[in-house]
Structures are given as structure tokens and as C-alpha cells.
Amino acid sequence: MEISSMILRTKPERLEGVRHQVDRIPGVEIHGDTGDGRLVVTVEDGEGYRVEDSITKLHEVDGVLAISLVYEYCDDGLETAEAKQ
């Protein structure tokens, strides 16, 4: 399991278009909107995609100026232990 949270920065006038594109990326969820061009998002891995892939897609969204990583959690050990059972 891997999960990351980040702040996405865009121009306020581009916010709706960016939100629409971000909503289409697997594993990405928007949790907040400051109204001044910042979005609070989480990225979680899932079947068929990785966090790294989704973060790369966030960087490719037209209108995104910057992304700041706020939190990251990875628990590969738990998955390994579960797989052995």
C-alpha cells in the first residue's frame, strides 16, 4: 500500500479545467480547494496503476504550475507478509 498527499498549484482562472483533468487520473482524489488556485489531493496505488504513474500524470495536466509533496506512506512489508500467508 502506498499513499501520498500533495498540494497542486494552478492559476485560479484555470482551476475548473485542472479539477476536471485531475478527476480522471486513477487513484487521485481531490480533498480540498482553497479558492486561490491550490488543490489538496491524495494519490493511492491500486489494481493496474502505481502512485508514481499517477503523480507523473498530475505533472502533465495542462495548467498545473507546481506540485508539492506533503505526506507519503508506504507499507510494502505488510503486503509481503500477507502474500506469504
Instruction: Spell out the domain ranges in the chain.
Output: 2-84
pLDDT of residue 75: 87
Q: What is the DSSP string of the chain?
A: -EEEEEEEEE-GGGHHHHHHHHTTSTTEEEEEE-SSSEEEEEEE-BTTB-HHHHHHHHHHSTTEEEEEEEEEEE-HHHHHHHHH-
Tens-digit pLDDT profile for the chain (85 aa)? 899 999 999 999 999 999 999 999 999 999 999 999 999 999 999 998 999 999 999 999 999 999 999 999 998 766 555 556 6
pTM comes to 0.83
Residue 80: the pLDDT is 54
Domain 2-84 grouped into CATH 3.30.70.920: yes
